[in-house]
Amino acid sequence: MSAKCTPAKLLTFSHLSNEDIESIGCLAEQAGQLAMAMRDGVDISHKATIDDKVTGADKALSKLITSAIKERFPNDCVISEEDDEHHHVLNQPAPHKRVWMIDPIDGTQNYILGDGQYCVMIGLIIDLLPVFGWVYEPHSNILYFGGPRYGSFRRCGDKVERIENLAAIDPLAKARLAMGSRDRKKHYWIDKLAVVDLVKVGSIGLKVARILDREADVFAHLSCKLKTWDTAGPAAIALGAGLEVGGMDDDQLLYPLPDFLHNTSIIMGRPGSLAWCRNHLRRNT
16-69 residue pLDDT tens:
999 999 999 999 999 999 999 998 877 776 665 655 678 888 899 999 999 999
What's the confidence (pLDDT) of residue 259?
A: 87
Same domain, 235 and 109: no
228 plus 94 within the same structural domain: no
Do both 200 and 261 map to the same domain? yes
CA distance 227 to 210: 21
Residue 157 falls inside a structural domain: yes
The verdict on residue 2 lying in a domain is: no
Same domain, 99 and 28: yes
Q: What is the distance between the alpha carbons of residues 191 and 184, in angstroms, rounded to a whole number?
A: 7
In a domain, 48, yes or no: yes
Residue 66 lies in domain: 18-162
CA distance linking residue 137 with residue 42, whole number of Å: 19
222 pLDDT more than 60: yes
In terms of domains, do 180 and 122 share one? no
Q: Measured between alpha carbons, how far is 27 from 49 in angstroms, rounded to an integer? A: 30
**Rg, the chain, Cα only:** 18
* 27 shares a domain with 113: yes
pLDDT digits (tens, 9 = 90+) for 171-215: 889 999 999 988 988 999 998 999 999 999 999 999 999 999 999
Domain end: 137, 162, 187, which one?
Answer: 162
Task: Tell me whether residue 4 is in a domain.
Answer: no
